[in-house]
Amino acid sequence: MKQYRVLIDCGDKKGLVYKVSKLFFDLELNILSNHEFVDADNNRFFMRTVIEGDIEASKLSSTLNSELDPDVNIQIVLPVKKNIVLMVTKESHCLGDILIRYEAGELDANIIAVVSNYDLLKPLVQKFNIPYFTVSHNDLSREEHEAKVLDCLSQFKDIDYIVLAKYMRILTPSFVEAYRTKLINIHHSFLPSFIGANPYKQAHERGVKIIGATAHFVTNDLDEGPIISQDVINVQHDHSWKDMQRAGRDVEKITLSRALKLALEDRIFIEGNKTIIF
């Protein structure tokens, strides 16, 4: 018995659930869980089904592709560990949260490398026997630095996700293009509030009573892209911006790890600048 995650999206039309579930039925597959959503605004259909049965992936794939219309996007994913790369700068809370989950076997992923523009977090990463690559940006233009980072990443094939776990440099469009839909970032504010530098200072100056964090796919720059998860925490007048930053770190790490879990379980569809999450 094998298990598969089948992800389908296409323009909405009558009978989609029927057609797909008929195929599963004819192939004698068990449906373990099934979620659908019709985005009526954009007339699009999304479906995530976890199935179980005695069938090869290739056979499942060829059957679905031959029986469903050609405009239907079909992804068949085995529930195996994905390959992820972490990118960090100086702060360790998001990185550390992921490492501890990794060590506990809680993460459905292989961390194949950590890449940073500083070597500050190397001792922490090496404790967990994960390769750490320092690609300093000193004396380099943004483009030169990114070229080096891309070069470093190019040694790893089959990267499923690159997790920007407090990587504090803005990526160029070409970098984003190279890893389209694979870049997950944690932004240290409740987007779209406080886009840009030092959101905690901005939040402190604005006198907000709640701060938050946003995990999202990266599209054009660090603060845009489809939001995966958000969370918040209460603050008060006696929080300095550094207190806010400290409090915010807990929200950041939990929010990023939650988004990563959703990605590793293939629960996220990207539609334009939004996500559908099952």
Q: Is 35 in the site for a copy of itself (CB under 8 A)?
A: yes
Q: Is 116 in the site for a copy of itself (CB under 8 A)?
A: no
Q: Is 168 in the site for a copy of itself (CB under 8 A)?
A: no
Element (H, E) at 35: strand 30-39
To the nearest whole angstrom, how small is the minimum distance from the Cβ of residue 21 to a copy of itself?
A: 4
Q: Which of 118, 156, 232, 267 binds a copy of itself (CB under 8 A)?
A: 232
CB atoms within 10 A of CB 180: 11
Which residues partner with 217 through β-bridges? 184
CB 73 within 8 A of CB 9: yes
Q: Which two tokens stand for residue 89?
A: 């700068």
To the nearest whole angstrom, how small is the minimum distance from the Cβ of residue 150 to a copy of itself?
A: 28
Q: Is 17 in the site for a copy of itself (CB under 8 A)?
A: yes
To the nearest whole angstrom, how small is the minimum distance from the Cβ of residue 218 to a copy of itself?
A: 14
Q: Which residue's entry shows tokens 């701060």?
A: 211
CB 145 within 8 A of CB 139: no
Which window, 75-83, 109-117, 171-179, 223-231, contacts a copy of itself (CB under 8 A)?
223-231
Q: Which of 132, 167, 194, 200 binds a copy of itself (CB under 8 A)?
A: 194
Q: Is 209 in the site for a copy of itself (CB under 8 A)?
A: yes
Q: Is 192 in the site for a copy of itself (CB under 8 A)?
A: yes
167: amino acid identity, one letter = Y
The DSSP bridge pattern shows strands 109-116 and 73-77 to be unpaired
Q: Which is nearer to a copy of itself, 221 or 231 (CB)?
A: 231
Q: Which of 55, 100, 140, 178 binds a copy of itself (CB under 8 A)?
A: 100
CA-CA-CA-CA dihedral for 150, 155, 159, 162, to nearest 10:
-40
**Residue 90: C-alpha distances to residues 17, 31, 119, 143, 168 (Å):** 48, 45, 8, 21, 8
Q: Which is nearer to a copy of itself, 169 or 267 (CB)?
A: 267
Please identify which of the residues 223, 231, 250, 266 carries the catalytic annotation: 223
Q: Which is nearer to a copy of itself, 10 or 140 (CB)?
A: 10
DSSP three-state, residue 248: helix
Distance CA 254, CA 178 (A): 27
Q: Is 103 in the site for a copy of itself (CB under 8 A)?
A: yes
Catalytic residue check, 119: no
Q: Which is nearer to a copy of itself, 114 or 153 (CB)?
A: 114
User: How many H-runs (helices) and E-runs (strands) does the chain carry?
Assistant: 8, 13
Q: Which of 68, 124, 168, 178 binds a copy of itself (CB under 8 A)?
A: 124
CA-CA-CA-CA dihedral for 208, 213, 217, 220, to nearest 10:
40
Where does residue 194 fall: left (phi above 0), alpha (psi -120 to 50 degrees), or beta otherwise? left
Q: Which residues bind a copy of itself (CB under 8 A)?
A: 14-15, 17-18, 21-22, 24-25, 28, 30-41, 91-93, 96-97, 99-101, 103-104, 106, 124, 127-128, 190-194, 205-210, 212, 226-232, 234, 236-238, 240, 246, 250, 254, 257-258, 273-277
